[in-house]
């Protein structure tokens, strides 16, 4: 492994600098509980409580005691990774003063894998993923992706539940899930003061792959036809939705769910209008499209990806498209992410992602007209593949799909206006195109 990362200075100050920690004040964190992962206590997981008003949360911070008395960032050490693998695959239990954790095998068979090497995946923001090179008991190599959830939530993590359900159904459209760590810890936000949920998950690591965003963007830049891959992606999306609908509970749409959707869409529209003058100028037409979607025909509600875009899909040689990261929108409460939702929300998210490919090329100074034509063709092919996969036309739900895509574009307007104003034209123009399409 690479040299482990030393945690310099105070732990709370180091935590405040991490990408997965959105808190504002380092001195607002305190240790809520400790989970020892080794007999001598040198490997342990700290559960830190962020008491920042309005941003209360519990974070998982694995650490290893250094020889000089300092601390090392656990995921970057061999000692922590070995302890985590034992917990995951040996069915062990870690017990702390006010917290517990135990490993649950899901798809793994045979003795626990032996660690060869490991490295932390760079660039991730909300969690920490460790790529593990290991060997099975028979000596064959196996790659694992072990994801350590940083912000802990009461309730099942959909990234574990959904991918497990899909892989256990025999589908190869997701990485196989091998095991998970579940536990309990103190959390004042939960009735009774104790939360229960997932702390980590181990899945199949897919090497030598590219994500669909890079594949699509390279194709668009080169002017290559992308309709066949887009159609295949639509079919893969439909396959995953079908498996989820069979494996997990569904629900009929009722007035409560319709009202909740309209309320959330109106809130996003108001936020976008407050930040983007051109959106404020079309508040009436926007409201009409959103209301039509909420009032029109709906399919049954089911479990969905929840944060679906090209970056959440891998192109795997010999296997096709494989979907990743079913955790849902990170800012949504876990309870909401575990509820049945509209599968068309995923469809709308992917349609917007194709539009971002065209917008990116325009931002780079490329041929905007050609990029728009590329995006239109890819979007149409994706929808055709999805319809073929579900065995029916989306026409009965066209008003709902239009509303969901508009809602996504409004969400993007808010994000870009606040974080990347130079990218605002991509969703801003999309809002007006979507309104013209339904006029």
The pair phi, psi for residue 247, each rounded to 5°, is: -85, -25
Q: Are residues 287 and 403 in the same domain?
A: yes
Q: What is the pLDDT of residues 221-276, one digit of tens each?
A: 999 999 999 999 999 999 999 999 999 999 999 999 999 999 999 999 999 999 99
In the predicted structure, residue 215 carries a pLDDT above the cut 50: yes
Domain membership of residue 269 (yes or no) is yes
In the predicted structure, residue 2 carries a pLDDT above the cut 50: no
314, 229 contact by CB (below 8 A): no
- What mean pLDDT is predicted for residues 286-307? 98
In the predicted structure, residue 13 carries a pLDDT above the cut 90: no
Provide the terminal-to-terminal Cα distance of the chain, rounded to the nearest Å.
58
1 versus 169: which is more confidently predicted? Answer: 169
- Number of structural domains in the chain: 2
Residue 304 belongs to a domain with what CATH number?
Answer: 3.90.1200.10
Domain membership of residue 393 (yes or no) is yes
Q: Are residues 369 and 389 in the same domain?
A: yes
Q: What is the pLDDT of residues 341-373, one digit of tens each?
A: 999 999 999 999 999 999 999 999 999 999 999
Q: What confidence score (pLDDT) does residue 4 get?
A: 53
Q: Which two tokens stand for residue 129?
A: 């993923």
Strands 141-149 and 194-204: antiparallel
Domain that holds residue 370: 210-437
Q: Which of 148, 173, 204 is the last residue of a domain?
A: 204
Q: Are residues 263 and 170 in the same domain?
A: no
Q: What is the pLDDT of residues 365-396, one digit of tens each?
A: 999 999 999 999 999 999 999 999 999 999 99
Domain membership of residue 182 (yes or no) is yes
Question: Measured between alpha carbons, how far is 102 from 181 in angstroms, rounded to an integer?
Answer: 6
pTM above 0.75? yes
Average pLDDT over the chain reads 94
Q: Are residues 101 and 228 in the same domain?
A: no
Q: How confident is the model at residue 217 (pLDDT cuts 50, 70, 90)?
A: very high
Q: Which of 152, 179, 204 is the last residue of a domain?
A: 204
- What mean pLDDT is predicted for residues 333-348? 94
In the predicted structure, residue 409 carries a pLDDT above the cut 90: yes
Q: What is the pLDDT of residues 119-154, one digit of tens each?
A: 999 876 789 999 999 999 999 999 999 999 999 999
Domain membership of residue 1 (yes or no) is no
Q: Which of 152, 175, 204 is the last residue of a domain?
A: 204
């Amino acid at each position: 492994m690479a040299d482990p990362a030393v945690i310099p200075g105070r732990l709370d100050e180091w935590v405040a600098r991490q990408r997965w920690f959105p808190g504002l004040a380092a001195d607002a964190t305190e240790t809520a509980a400790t989970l020892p992962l080794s007999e001598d206590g040198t490997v342990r997981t700290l559960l830190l409580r962020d008491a920042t008003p309005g941003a209360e949360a519990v974070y998982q911070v694995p650490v290893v005691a250094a020889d000089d008395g300092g601390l090392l960032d656990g995921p970057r050490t061999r000692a922590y990774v070995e302890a985590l693998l034992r917990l995951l695959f040996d069915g062990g239990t870690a017990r702390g003063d006010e917290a517990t954790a135990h490993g649950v095998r899901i798809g793994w068979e045979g003795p626990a894998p032996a660690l060869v090497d490991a490295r932390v995946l760079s660039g991730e923001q909300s969690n920490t993923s460790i790529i593990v090179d290991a060997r099975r008991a028979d000596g064959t190599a196996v790659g694992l992706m072990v994801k350590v959830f940083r912000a802990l939530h009461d309730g099942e993590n959909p990234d574990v539940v959904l991918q497990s359900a899909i892989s256990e159904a025999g589908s190869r459209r997701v990485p196989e899930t091998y095991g998970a760590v579940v536990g309990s810890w103190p959390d004042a936000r939960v009735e009774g003061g104790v939360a229960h949920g997932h702390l980590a998950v181990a899945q199949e690591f897919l090497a030598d792959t590219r994500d669909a965003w890079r594949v699509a963007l390279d194709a668009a830049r080169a002017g290559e036809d992308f309709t066949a891959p887009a159609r295949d992606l639509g079919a893969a999306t439909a396959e995953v939705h079908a498996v989820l609908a069979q494996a997990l509970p569904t629900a009929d749409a009722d007035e409560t769910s319709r009202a909740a959707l309209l309320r959330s869409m109106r809130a996003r529209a108001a936020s976008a209008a407050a930040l983007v003058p051109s959106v404020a100028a079309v508040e009436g037409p926007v409201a009409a499209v959103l209301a039509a979607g909420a009032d029109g025909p709906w399919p049954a509600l089911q479990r969905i990806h929840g944060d679906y875009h090209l970056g959440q899909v891998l192109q795997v040689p010999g296997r096709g498209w494989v979907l990743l990261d079913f955790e849902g929108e990170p800012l949504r409460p876990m309870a909401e992410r575990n509820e049945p939702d509209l599968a068309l929300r995923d469809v709308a998210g992917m349609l917007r992602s194709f539009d971002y490919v065209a917008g990116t090329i325009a931002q780079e100074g490329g041929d905007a007209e050609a990029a728009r034509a590329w995006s239109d063709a890819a979007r149409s092919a994706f929808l055709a593949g999805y319809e073929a996969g579900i065995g029916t036309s989306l026409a009965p739900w066209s008003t709902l799909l239009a509303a969901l895509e508009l809602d996504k574009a409004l969400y993007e307007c808010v994000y870009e206006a606040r974080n990347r104003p130079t990218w605002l034209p991509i969703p801003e123009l999309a809002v007006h195109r979507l309104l013209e399409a339904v006029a």
